[in-house]
Amino acid sequence: MKKLDPQASKGTADWFNGDVTITPIKPATETSNFSVSSVHFEPGARAAWHVHPYGQTLYVTEGVGYVQSRGGPIETIRPGDIVWTEPGEEHWHGATAGTPMTHIAMQESDEQGNFAEWHNHVTDEEYGQSAKI
């Protein structure tokens, strides 16, 4: 058994708009491609459009946020909500404009160690559609 000492880091501007903090809970290892992280989004912060090779489960722990699959409606997510994204399903998630949001992200990386393929940033116009919810 090994006690882990997670080190939080800021989300890279290549993958996120706004202020995002990622704290690993269970990193992928040589024997397991499964990883778990706590991801905190400050108000207005959001992930870029992306896909996961083996899907992703999100468990919202605090605040209020949004999630959207490409071509689908923007959905509001709150503490206790669980979101499953299918493998290869393009989507984004993040906080509302006025409230931070934290979720636990669970996913497997592929054989090359990639847990996501990142695409374009969610535009202000796309994100602004969430204000109509």
* Cα–Cα separations (whole angstroms), residue 29 to 11, 50, 109, 119: 21, 23, 10, 25
Q: How far is CA 103 from the centre of its chain?
A: 7
Residue-by-residue pLDDT tens, the chain, 133 positions: 767 677 899 999 999 999 999 999 998 888 899 999 999 999 999 999 999 999 999 999 999 999 999 999 999 999 999 999 999 999 999 999 999 999 999 999 998 989 999 999 999 999 987 665 5
pTM, full prediction: 0.92
The reported pLDDT for the residue numbered 21 is 97
The reported pLDDT for the residue numbered 63 is 98
- Domain borders along the chain are 9-132
The reported pLDDT for the residue numbered 30 is 86
- Provide CATH code, domain 9-132: 2.60.120.10
* Full DSSP string of 2-27: -------EEPPTTTEES-EEEEEEE-
